[in-house]
Amino acid sequence: MEVLFRSPLGALLAKPWVDQAGLFGLKRWYFPLSRLWAAANAAGDDTARFRDEIGAPVAAWPEPYLRSVLARNAGRKTAAEAARAAWEASLFGDAPDQDCLSLDRRRRAAATRHLATRASFYPLHRPAHRRHAGRSTSRGGSNMILGRPSPGPTASTMLPSMPTLSSRHRR
């Protein structure tokens, strides 16, 4: 990481606009996708439970796509849990003869594949039909997540506002 920040790219990343761009990405993309992914992890293959977890109306998303995304996520979650259990049993259990290094690689790869399923929820985060459903996706700092008012604070209310630098403080 140190090498990155000492490079020309690091000098570009150490600018105040990067913080604002990062917060925008977190609020508009990462947090909502993480919320959908967590709901999918809780729901498993059950589309009705997934919809209950996120508070979505029944006809909000196409059932075939939702089933396939949930099945893929549940399968990868199960594989990641199995890989972790095998690694833990080998490392801490009664099976020390197994190759812990290869089990650790499998565990990390399975966990990465499971984490990567978060991107599968992007079409659910910004579906095209929302424009026609009369839901607001206002950009004016409103308390909206997934096209409906969120029940609690959002990133915009939880993160401190960053002071802006005047032109004389900029390089």
Instruction: Give tens-digit pLDDT for 57-84.
Output: 656 678 898 999 999 999 999 999 999 9
Residue 108 lies in a domain: yes
Contact between 27 and 154 under an 8 Å Cβ cutoff? The reply is yes
Bigger pLDDT: 98 or 99?
99
State if pTM tops 0.85. Answer: no
Residue 169 lies in a domain: no
In the chain, the number of structural domains is 1
Residue 50 lies in a domain: no
Residue 151 lies in a domain: no
Structural domain for 111, as ranges: 79-124
Q: Could you give the CA distance from residue 30 to residue 28 in angstroms, rounded to a whole number?
A: 7
Percent of the chain residues past pLDDT 90, beyond the cut: 32
State residue 126's pLDDT score.
67
Could you report the per-residue pLDDT of 18-42, keeping only the tens digit for each?
A: 788 888 888 888 898 999 999 999 9
